[in-house]
Amino acid sequence: MTPAPPSPAEAETAALLAALRLQLDWGADEALADLPLDRLAAPPPPAALPAAAPQPSAPQAPAVRPRRAAAVLPLPAAATAASLAAGAHSLEALREAMAQVDTPLRETATNLVFADGQPGAPIMLLGEAPGADEDRQGRPFVGVSGQLLDRMLASIGLDRHAPEMQNSFYISNILPWRPPGNRTPTDAEITLFLPFVLRHIALARPQRLVLLGGVSAKSLLRVKDGITRLRGRWHDLPTDAGTLPALPTWHPAYLLRNPAAKRDSWADLLLLRRSIESGSHGAARQD
């Protein structure tokens, strides 16, 4: 027996159910509005624009702002640092004075790195700034570059902890705090701590200085020449303790990146050794 065809109402209901099932299969299972959107209706008219503000008949004079009272500027940090450095009459007092300097470097560093070796040794070495290893231990030149430096100086008979004062050396940096990320010290940072460096030299009373790297050499010698032109010969450095011979040379960290420069450093070490043995220094470059 053939079934009777569906009525028009049943056919419409079946079509609607099929459409709903298709939408469910597509993931459209949530209504976003109470009523369906009539996409055939005309759009609403645009909202009326606000009336333009009336223009003033004459330009108004600008309001006069009250003048601020002149601010009282604090004593510059460099002048404060110079006063603190001049008031230190021992190495321990100098260390305490350096710790009082207000500098953002203290906020990112772990330890103040003052010095290592034998105070009063005939040779004093000055580097740039502490690195990560130095910042952790609070001592200068204890990382990989410092270990290389120790081996280099040992080759000419110098040891930072030698029991004999004439065979030992004393070592420090221009900055006592590690710059973030081991970046190069800024001119402002060098200017801030330079009075402490000069006072450090005066209190340590070395007979000769070795300046490790361009930052140390240019800062103390007050020149614009790079380390390439400065190294290989002695320079006279005026200090509170008198004029001292200073020998610029490559920083050991540079030698780790550029091993070919070790030849120049060896020539500088021989120049230092001859100066120690002869008790004098010369200014001729050994090319």
Q: How far apart are CA 121 and CA 84, in angstroms?
A: 25
- Summarize pLDDT for 156-207 with one digit per residue, the tens: 999 999 999 999 999 999 999 999 999 999 999 999 999 999 999 999 999 9
Of 1-10, 31-40, 238-247, 263-272, which one has max mean pLDDT? 263-272
Cα distances from 119 to residues 67, 141, 162, 204, 206, in angstroms, run 56, 16, 12, 6, 8
Domain spans, the chain: 77-278
CATH of 77-278, one of 1.10.1060.10, 3.40.470.10, 3.40.630.10, 2.60.120.620: 3.40.470.10
pLDDT for the residue numbered 175: 98
Strand partners, 246: 209, 235
- Summarize pLDDT for 116-149 with one digit per residue, the tens: 999 999 999 999 999 999 999 999 999 999 999 9
E strands in the chain:
116-117, 123-127, 169-173, 208-212, 235-239, 242-249
What integer best gives the mean pLDDT of the chain? 85
pLDDT for the residue numbered 287: 37
Q: How far apart are CA 275 and CA 34, in angstroms?
A: 97
Assess contact for 197 and 244: CB atoms under 8 A: no
Whether 243 shows a pLDDT value over 80: the answer reads: yes
- Summarize pLDDT for 32-81 with one digit per residue, the tens: 556 666 666 666 666 555 555 555 555 555 444 444 333 333 445 778 88
pLDDT for the residue numbered 79: 83
Q: What is the separation of C-alpha 180 from the centre of its chain, rounded to a whole number of angstroms?
A: 4
Assess contact for 182 and 109: CB atoms under 8 A: no
What lies within 8 Å, CB to CB, of 112 at 6+ separation is 95, 98, 99, 106, 138, 176, 177
**Six-digit token string for 243:** 């004029």
**Six-digit token string for 233:** 């010969």
Pairing of strands 169-173, 116-117: antiparallel
A 10 A CB-CB count for 283 gives: 9
The predicted model scores a pTM of: 0.72
User: Which of these ranges, 31-35, 37-41, 90-94, 219-223, has the smallest mean pLDDT?
Assistant: 31-35
